Structures are given as C-alpha cells and as structure tokens.
Amino acid sequence: MTTRLKKGFSAVLCSLAVAVTCASSPAIQAADTKTGPLKIGASFQEINNPYFVTMKDALQDATSSIGATLLVTDARHDVSKQISDIEDMLQKGIDILIINPTDSVGVQSAVKEAHDKGVVVVAVDAQANGPLDAFVGSKNFDAGVQACDYLARNIGGKGDVGILDGIAVVPILERVRGCKEALGKYPDIKIVSIQNGKQERDQALSVTENMLQAQPNLKGLFSVNDNGSLGALAAIESSGMDVKLTSVDGAPEAIKEIQKPNTKFIATSAQYPRDQVRLALGLALARKWGSQVPATIPVDILLVDQAKAKTFSW
C-alpha cells in the first residue's frame, strides 16, 4: 500500500473512531435498535469486469463484518437503468448509497434524490455530479501519464501511437488526458488514432483490428482499462505486428500476460479496487454517524511492468 493510501486510511479510521464513540451513547443505540441494521445500496456501472467484481466482493465482506444489509445493482453501462436501480433502492429504505456511475453527469438526478431523502452518498472510482458526501477514486490522470510515458520510452521515443478510449466518465477522460500530456513531451511521437473500445474485450478486439489495418506503422497502443487491453492484445498478436501495449487497472489476467516472455503487453497502471471501496464505506459510515469527512480521497496508482508483475496483486 502506498504512503498516500495509508494516510487516507488513517483519516477514515480517525473519523470512524469519533463516530463509534458517539454511537455508544444510549440515544443512538436506541435509534439503531428501532430502525434495525443499516441498509447499504451499491450501484455499479458494471459487474462483468474483474475490477468491479473485486470491488463488489470487498464491499460484501466489509458490510457483512458490521452486520449491515447490502443491496447491489449492475447498471450494465445504461444510465437510465442506473437511475431506476437507485430509485428502487431508495424505495427500499437504504441509509447509504455507494455509487459507481456509468455517466458522471447523467446520474445527477439520482444523487440529488438520494441526498434529499437524507441518504449518505459516496461515489467510488468515478466521480458523480450532484450533492455527494464524499468521493474516493484513483489518480487517473497520473495513471495515464505513467502508462504512456512508459510506452513512449519503450518504443524509443518515436513512432505512431493509438489510444483505445472508453465511456465518457471522469476516470476515463482523465486517463486519456494524462496519456496525451505524457506523449506530448515526445516530439517524434504522433497520436494517429483514437478509437472507443467501450472497455469491453470483444469490442476492443474488433476496434483494434481495424486500427491495425488502418495504421500499418503503429508502434504503440494505450488502452484505458485492462479488460479492453486484453482484446487489443489478441488483435496485436494475431496481426503479427510489433506493437507495444500499456493499460490501466492491474487486473489478474493482465498481470499474468505482462509476465510472459516477449509479451507485447508491457505495463499497466494498477489501481486498488478493494481499498477504494473500503475507504468509501468507511467515509459513508463516519458521515452517517455524524462525523465530518474529507470531500475527496485520491488513491495512488502503481505502474506495474514485467519485474513488478511477479509480486503484484489486488
């Protein structure tokens, strides 16, 4: 765990300590007895991605350990479904909403509705518009910078590069912005194609195949997430082209690919999904119990290359 992440955990633990002390009073205990266990809702943009599966599993373990009830929904990258899911959870009387938005702007009405009903709202991984109590997320700009600077150095600081983009949420936009800034420091590198792989393996495979055909001189490719990068890797390997690939996430399958000899997948900017969601829950509990909490906790990323991949895991 990084120093910054340790500091983040320390801040949350301090808040929780205050909240727990307050909760020991008879008045609050009576209120807890009357209302029953805390009910926590978690709305994810998707749950067919190992990153979000890991986050969901960590949240289930954490809520179970405190005796809370957890409701989990999968928006499947559909903002209308996510809003409907949240409205349904509000009808069921949730006390806390952990939201991982599929559209940072589009979920604003649901965030406001939850806030107006007195529900504590904490966004995780991706920022959400509206009256949030807190946000926990990776330093996505740094993730893009580090992955693309590493890519640039490994293609000799020159050549054509492509970007495999994703859905329009703040983390993805920041990764691409960071990548462009890093590549901009290399005057002999040119970004020749930016295509949307939608962060899905099958879509990324097809998009990358088309990109490789259109750009026969491509030397490097940056993918905004590991799920998409695995589809891109399959396309690169099938093409026989010498295209280096970097990404973001640190997913187990990606880490395995990076360790292989002569791999085209050379590095990923790894995130910490378990720690992010635990921090989000800690902040939400502290806020629910009356403590003041930080508006934002940024979580460090770690560039994992072949050497670091041997010991890295979520």
pLDDT tens digits along 59-108: 999 999 999 999 999 999 999 999 999 999 999 999 999 999 999 999 99
Cα→Cα distances 264→106, 175, 196, 216, 309, Å: 37, 20, 20, 16, 14
Which phi and psi angles does 106 have, rounded to 5°?
-65, -25
Start-end of H helices in 155-200 = 170-183
Segment (H or E) for 42: strand 39-44
In DSSP terms, which residues pair with 136 in a beta bridge? Answer: 124, 297
3-state secondary structure of 71: strand
Could you count the other beta carbons within 10 Å of the beta carbon of residue 72? Answer: 17
Instruction: Kindly tell me if the per-residue pLDDT of 8 is higher than 80.
Output: no
**8 A C-beta contact, residue 263 and residue 247:** no
Number of Cβ atoms within 10 Å of the Cβ of 267: 24
Residue with tokens 């709305």: 43
Q: In which band, very low, low, confident or very high, does the pLDDT at 167 lie, cut at 50, 70 and 90? A: confident
| DSSP class of 299 | E
Percent of the chain with pLDDT over 90: 86
Residue 212 CA to residue 244 CA, distance in Å, equals 12
pLDDT for position 35:
63
Mean pLDDT of the chain: 90
Neighbours of 265 (CB within 10 A): 27
Strands (E), 139-237: 158-165, 188-196, 218-223
pLDDT of 60 reads: 98
pLDDT mean over 259-275? 97
| CA R_g for the chain | 21
Tell me the mean pLDDT in the region 176-182: 98
> Which pLDDT tens digit goes with each residue over 197-233?
999 999 999 999 999 999 999 999 999 999 999 999 9
pLDDT at residue 4 in the model: 40
User: What stretches of 202-284 adopt beta strand conformation (E)?
Assistant: 218-223, 244-249, 265-270
Residue with tokens 């928006």: 75
pLDDT confidence bin for 49, thresholds 50/70/90: confident
For 188, the token pair is: 């002999």
pTM: 0.84
